Amino acid sequence: MKQHETDEPRQSRAASDVRDGWDVNETNRARAHDDRLCMMFDLSGHTALVTGAGKGMGVGMARGLVTQGAAVIVNDLDPALAEERVKELVDFGGSAVAAAFDVTDLAAVQEGVAMASELLGSRVDILVNNAGIPKSAVSVTPFLDIAREDWAPYIDLNLYGSLHCIKVMAPGMVEQGWGRIVQISSGAGRVGLSIGQALYGASKSGIEGFIRHLSQELGPHGVTANALALGLMENVEIRNRELLRPLVAAIPNRRLGSLADVGAAVAFLASPEAGHLNGQTINLNGGATTN
């Protein structure tokens, strides 16, 4: 069901409208203060699909896009989570619809995107492939301890899931001569680690390689394709917080990445101003690794 944009002016919202550091009132005040900034990175009139946006970093990505004016299709396997995120975005004055489908199912992607696009009355021209942790995935485990039947979920989601979404959305972008594909990747796809991330890292390395080739095919049509490799973020699942301290201490910025950090990065890559950035993998990691 479509969630309609509220008629209530954004500036009239209560000062308590702050969630996870996202203060839309403050964002609007900054925009009003500098009209030139407001003109940059404007995504009004654009429609984005963010996969895996029901929780985690995908929430920050959806927020960043909505803040810049894009309509957002919130995808998640869990319909309740997708609807919850949509309600939040609409409450903040955005335009959003929920689309619960499994990106590893090509037919489901085609059907889900078609229905959501019809509700919004616009075609997707910004794709953010964020879904990356399989529901059936084993926890961080050394490769030699992972059974053969447990290999597929990582490849199915991080490689085929992204390919499905690109296959469905890219033709429309090419047809209209404009589009943005933002592939969320990981530092595990670029750096060897000894913490049981081999399969996950391999799947991310694979999709990064694909994005580089795709950028060469789609660039002449006004469509860019880039990867954003995330480092340690606030959604990191380490039960013993003491184990996290030395990891954070090794980051030059001395903190984990936030929802706001990833939202801003995705909004930039999706913007018209990023039109000459194509085929790149950008690290968002506080300087933990450098190119």
Cα–Cα distance measured from residue 183 to residue 169, given in angstroms and rounded to the nearest whole number: 13
Catalytic residue among 22, 41, 92, 200: 200
Cα–Cα distance measured from residue 266 to residue 270, given in angstroms and rounded to the nearest whole number: 6
Q: Which residue has the tokens 């957002």?
A: 72
**Which of 259, 191, 269, 192 is CA-nearest to residue 228?**
269
Cα–Cα distance measured from residue 23 to residue 243, given in angstroms and rounded to the nearest whole number: 31
The verdict on whether 160 is a catalytic residue reads no
How far is residue 284 from each of residues 44, 238, 263, 269, measured CA to CA in Å? 25, 20, 11, 12
Which helix (H) or strand (E) element contains residue 204?
helix 198-218
Active-site residue list: 200
